[in-house]
Amino acid sequence: MVKTTDIILGIIAKDLKKSPSDALVIGVAQGADGPVLLSNPLSAKAAESLAGSLKILGITGATDQAHRLPGLPETGSGILVLAGVGKLNDDGSLGEEALRRAAGSAVRQLAGTASVTLAFPTTTPADVTAVAEGAALGAYSYTEHRSSKDGLNAPVAKVLIFSDVDAKSAQPGLDRAIVLARAVNSTRTLVNQPPSHLYPESFAESAKELAKGLPVKITVWDEKRLEKEGFGGILGVGKGSTRQPRLVKVEYAPAKATKKIALVGKGITFDTGGISIKPALGMGDMKSDMAGAAVVLNTVLAIASLGLPLKATAWLCIAENMPSGAAARPADVFTIYGGKTVEVLNTDAEGRLVMADGIVAASLEKPDAIIDVATLTGAQLIALGLRTAGVMGSDSVTQALKSAADRAGELVWPMPLPEELRPSLDSQVADLANIGERNGGMMTAAVFLREFVGKNDDGQQIPWAHVDIAGPSFNNGAPYGYTPKQGTGCTVRTLLAYAEDLLDHSA
């Protein structure tokens, strides 16, 4: 079972003492001549004294800096926290993502504190929403498998946002922030689960558990149904494991839907590489190879929670890639759902095989767009690093995803699909091979997936995009902003923003 905890969010605009909290957080920016104390609810005298002490205290305003001081009597809080927000915009303002990260960083570092008031400069409902999102994302921890919680600080349970923005106009943003954080944090928790606990069957059960109470329909293909209906990619990848594969369809179909999207997610619950086995070093991180499936599952659940008027379907392509006497071999040929055949030249290029089945299944319902999300290639990290996802496919979808990501505060970058890569996927014995040109391997993988995108009623290929999240889905470094170690939950925010934008453009 995936445990979820919702933070309590509220907004206040008057006397801090009437709504006391354990800690009050105010912002400090990096100015040209040193740290700058941002607008705050302190008295003029207290603010002036504090501003004059910043350099002495070693406070620079750099991002992720959180300096604790004794609280002031006028605030009603026992702790005063000076949180760095980084550099201001040219007009002296803070962008929404800067607010989101500053709030998330402060709340994350204040774990062990029950309640916090965030007093960053907010002039619009969107600013308040950004602070709320950051706070809710920062209030996350994963302790499910600890035998004792001694020495562990519980995440902040309640956050008040000090702002002059009208509370009524800000409330929808707070409500959305709670739904969004629940989706992101559930994704993080699924990714963080050890493979001993999260495997194809238990992943399918977790999807059902998370969907309880929501207007969604869940259908699960077990290994017998997968074989009967010809899902050769998922079956072929999963047959080396004693834990048999699953395909899970999560469908939200409101009566007044005006658009229809399909989201396909890679769900390799553990990836050894199969017969083409990976090096031992770092293999433990391969518990995260199901991040794409977790992302699309929780995105659809968030869309359902918000009651958006569009049909959204998630296809979770779940298998465990293990070496054994039953495992697929290099040179085997799989028949993908729908009939295309693939020669498996490398069993560690397995994600695209399970995704091919899912993309074909999604295509048969002729959605307005198909977006697949996968921790697909090491080449993604080489091309774009650890924090930026690659997006490839139809211009109409990739451009919309880039715009949505910018609005949501996530990093994605559009990459091309050069036509010269397709011949490298030619096979001597099947319709195509599962690996091709190594250089530009992220794009080669996307070219492979494009082969399985179906056509709409007009005979044109369904608008489609592939999002490779191999780097940004898992954080092996230090936590930063609202991002914890290990599972990050990246791309949920982008996909939710994409769905909202799709509705706005169709209105």
Q: Tell me the backbone φ, ψ of residue 348, rounded to 5 degrees.
A: -85, 0
Structure tokens belonging to residue 398: 């990739």
Question: The tokens 């989101």 sit on which residue?
Answer: 100
SS (H, E, C) 441-495: HHHHHHHHHHCCCCECCCCCECCEEEEECCCCCEECCCCECCECCEECCCCHHHH
Please provide the DSSP assignment of 336-391 as one string. -TTS-EEEES-TT--HHHHHHHHHHHHHTT--SEEEEEE---HHHHHHHTTT-EEE
Q: 81 is written with which tokens?
A: 């926290």
Return the number of other C-beta atoms located less than 10 Å from residue 43's C-beta: 12
Pairing of strands 389-393, 412-414: parallel
CA atoms of 183 and 136, how far apart (whole Å)? 11
Sign of CA dihedral 353, 354, 358, 359: negative
CA separation, residue 465 to residues 317, 358, 370, 462 (Å): 17, 14, 6, 10
Which parts are annotated binding residues for Mn(2+)? 266, 271, 289, 348, 350
Residue type, 320: E
Structure token digits, residue 318: 């779940």
Annotated binding-site members: 266, 271, 289, 348, 350
Which residues carry out catalysis?
Answer: 278, 352
Compute the residue count for the chain.
507
